[in-house]
Structure 1
Amino acid sequence: MTRQGVAAAIDAALFDDLMARYAAMFGRDETPWRIWSAANAPAALDRHDVVLSDGEATGDLIDRVVAADAVLIESEREGGRWIDTVRSPMGTWVLDVRADDDTPHSPAFVAVLRAALSLHFPAHDALCIARAWQPGATAWPNDFARFPQVRHAALVPPGQTAQPFAPCPPDLGLYAVMPSAAWIETLVPLAVPTVQLRFKSDDADAVKHEVARAAKAAKGSQSRLFINDHWRVAIDHHAACGGDSGIYGIHLGQEDLDDADLDAIRASGLRLGVSTHGYAEMLRVAAISPSYLALGAIFPTTTKVMPTQPQGMGRFQSYVALMQPVIPSLVGIGGVNAGNMGEVLAVGVGSAAVVRAITEASDVPAAVAGLNALFA
């Protein structure tokens, strides 16, 4: 291993072309990213360094990368596929993709990887983009079949398929995410097409009360009610009502998926919506065929601590182009309001979620009417 380091071979012309084409769409990291092969990595690494290992990396290299908050990508061949392990400060992902050639880290791969990182994509998403890139292409990738499958943390074992959840219409319309059943009671008579109870409490009795109250408000109405997080309470209440509870579905975040009984949710007949924040998360969730995907956060939001920076409209457009043929029901989330709703809907999604645009409105009925009108 050399102390100064020797950069990995890169198709510089391709990198420059991609930055010229897409920097305005995605933004540009002003700090240059450096990519090294494991054998030629410098002694000192930092958070803008990526080390590429052909095969499993040594424990010493892993420790050095972790200590520097750098990125390590270990690539192994398995039949006709590449198995990539991406280690970064955002965690470890293992991705599986069909191999285009016998070179794990070709100059073109390095160019696309570096461009994606320089366009503010996190390492695991940058790897997805680099592997999905069509050789010789300049168009942003949107062919789902070329993107990797997720091995870790997979929701479905490799080689297996999951039964899809009950479908949602692609036009869920205005989607109001509310903190209490009282808000659900307020919005259902105002003809909000989709509502979500996002009640945060560790009090089991309070949760059951809020879910039952929200379900009662939605039952028999035109509003579709989703219950955030409290999937077991929602299933139990739905079953106790003989499947006619007023609950339409359940919404889970990425952090909730590992603990949820997805088979039980599927068997209940309730729909399942899932929040996603980038390529790897979308690919992970697509394997279970949820009823809808929420994509974001598009704009800055104060209603929730987000795991990533705001995605922006450029990323949102690219996510919709990739996922809409696979999961037609998509919801734009994060910082959406009356002022930017039109921009979100112009991308082609049939739904956008709002929180403060309603909860902070001085005239709630007027705010709802105005937001609903944007979907007309």
Structure 2
Amino acid sequence: MTRQGPFDAALYQSLLARFGATFGRDETPWRAWPLADAPAALAPQDVVLADDEVTEDVITRVATAGATLIATEREGGRWVDTVRSPMGVWVLESHADSDAAHPPAFVSVLLAARALHFPAHDALCLARAWQTGEQDWPTDFARFPRVRHAALAAPEQLPPPFAPCPADLGLYAVVPTAEWIERLVPLGVPTVQLRFKSPEGEAVRVEIERAARAAKGSASRLFINDHWRVAIELHQQLGTDSGIYGIHLGQEDLDVADLDAIRASGLRLGVSTHGYAEMLRVAAISPSYLALGAIFPTTTKVMPTAPQGMGRFQAYVKLMQPVIPALVGIGGVNAANLPEVLAVGVRSAAVVRAITEASDVPAAVTRLKAMFER
């Protein structure tokens, strides 16, 4: 395996040996190159490291090859890393532990994380969070980078947190229609989400209002997926006990949603995340809960990343639970694997097909709810 520049081979091999079974590993020959030594013909497994700004020609050359470029600048006592990979551009800042932008331990952890299937921006987070001389997986939130792009809040002026929700959201049913909400609320499902997909504005409004009226006065917490404008309007029109408890957004929705308006409405906010950089990005706005996944393969939606697996899920929970206590396991969760998810320590898990495709819905709900009570 050819690499140029400082590299701690012993640390690299130790990490793969210790965590390969937990996260899975591949045999891709990941290589890190200082920009000056990078080969003319780059490949997707190449990571090019630059100590300053880079030219557009370099950016184009790396992108054309499907490789990764990490350009690092020093700002006072902090490193600012711009990560460019086929998965997009991330800018992250972290405390500078030394005068070297890319010391041997950093490069070793970065490449080991890539070999353990972490995308480039998450591998960067792990490499910056790694404590020199440590062998344990990093769990100190304060050591992880802060996201500068695409930031949701300025690090120096963080907004107030969203309205809190209990950590034990329990069984969380995600369903496509208000009719499903009407069926599940009487069964005592603790948390329900309406994920209604339609381009028709009036149809969306009718469906959300119907779901809100079904949840009104019940013990079920109703979250509305995506349609935050309509949810806020109806919450204001129907009164404090509108039946709408909160809003759930995906990463792509965060860039267009009016987060201040959601916060001011008093509705809770839940957000889906798929790895370290996304979790760090969302933590800056202090949402009501974080959804972590997809843990297992799922067919209910197209996911931006491969299934995270239980190893990653456990690592995410250990890092984020002290920061955002309400965590929800999502993605492919069913009656067979739910006990494994709950054993990690979360007190909520989202299910879809385990309910919507059940031959006996009341029996399926009873069985799933019982797993949370054990």
TM class, shorter-length:
over 0.9
2:316 aligns to what?
Answer: 319
Mapped pair 1:339 → 2:336: yes
1:274 aligns to what?
Answer: 271
Q: Distance in 2 between matches of 1:317 and 1:8?
A: 33
SS of the residue 2:111 aligns to: helix
2:39 aligns to what?
Answer: 42
1:151 aligns to what?
Answer: 148
What percent identity do the matched residue pairs reach? 75
TM-score normalised by L of structure 2: 0.99
Q: Distance in 1 between matches of 2:321 and 2:148?
A: 22
- Residue 234 (structure 1) shift: 0.3
1:213 aligns to what?
Answer: 210
Q: Which runs of 5+ in 1 are unaligned?
A: none
Mapped pair 1:140 → 2:163: no
Amino acid at match of 2:142: A
2:21 to 24, 42, 49: 24
What whole-Å deviation, never above 9, does each CA across 1:66-108 have from its counterpart, x for those lacking one? Answer: 0001000000000000000000000000001011111000001
Are the counterparts in 1 of residues 3 and 31 from structure 2 also a CA contact under 8 Å?
Answer: no
- Residue 202 (structure 1) shift: 0.5
2:284 aligns to what?
Answer: 287
Q: How does 1:222-233 map to 2 (within 5 A)?
A: 222-233=219-230
2:231 aligns to what?
Answer: 234
Q: How does 1:1-376 map to 2 (within 5 A)?
A: 7-376=4-373
What whole-Å deviation, never above 9, does each CA across 1:212-240 have from its counterpart, x for those lacking one? Answer: 00000000011000000000000000000
- Residue 58 (structure 1) shift: 2.1
Q: Distance in 1 between matches of 2:48 and 2:54?
A: 10
- Residue 6 (structure 1) shift: 6.0
SS of the residue 1:96 aligns to: strand
Amino acid at match of 1:248: Y
Are the counterparts in 2 of residues 300 and 310 from structure 1 also a CA contact under 8 Å?
Answer: yes
- Residue 271 (structure 1) shift: 0.2
- Residue 244 (structure 1) shift: 1.8
Are the counterparts in 2 of residues 6 and 40 from structure 1 also a CA contact under 8 Å?
Answer: no
Q: Distance in 2 between matches of 1:94 and 1:236?
A: 35
- Residue 64 (structure 1) shift: 0.8
What whole-Å deviation, never above 9, does each CA across 1:20-53 have from its counterpart, x for those lacking one? Answer: 0000000002211111000100011111110000
Are the counterparts in 1 of residues 125 and 276 from structure 2 also a CA contact under 8 Å?
Answer: yes
Q: Distance in 2 between matches of 1:47 and 1:184?
A: 46
SS of the residue 1:274 aligns to: strand
Amino acid at match of 1:345: L
Q: Distance in 2 between matches of 1:128 and 1:182?
A: 43
SS of the residue 1:275 aligns to: strand
What whole-Å deviation, never above 9, does each CA across 1:221-265 have from its counterpart, x for those lacking one? Answer: 110000000000000000001222100000000000010000000
Amino acid at match of 1:84: D
Residues 6 and 190 of structure 1: CA distance in aligned 2, closer, same or farther (over 3 Å): closer
Amino acid at match of 2:283: A
Question: Runs of 4 or more off by more than 4 Å in structure 1?
Answer: none
Amino acid at match of 2:290: L
Q: Distance in 2 between matches of 1:266 and 1:29?
A: 43
Q: Distance in 1 between matches of 2:245 and 2:365?
A: 21
SS of the residue 2:372 aligns to: coil
Amino acid at match of 2:308: Q
How many residues are paired up? 372
SS of the residue 1:95 aligns to: strand
- Residue 60 (structure 1) shift: 1.7
SS of the residue 2:209 aligns to: helix
Are the counterparts in 2 of residues 6 and 42 from structure 1 also a CA contact under 8 Å?
Answer: no
- Residue 158 (structure 1) shift: 3.2
- Root mean square deviation, CA, Å: 0.8
Amino acid at match of 2:282: V
Q: Distance in 2 between matches of 1:55 and 1:312?
A: 36
Amino acid at match of 1:332: G
Are the counterparts in 1 of residues 195 and 224 from structure 2 also a CA contact under 8 Å?
Answer: yes
Q: Distance in 2 between matches of 1:185 and 1:329?
A: 25
Q: Distance in 2 between matches of 1:71 and 1:78?
A: 22
Q: Which runs of 5+ in 2 are unaligned?
A: none
Q: Distance in 1 between matches of 2:268 and 2:155?
A: 24
Q: Distance in 1 between matches of 2:199 and 2:3?
A: 53
Are the counterparts in 2 of residues 97 and 148 from structure 1 also a CA contact under 8 Å?
Answer: yes
What whole-Å deviation, never above 9, does each CA across 1:96-124 have from its counterpart, x for those lacking one? Answer: 10111110000010000000000000000
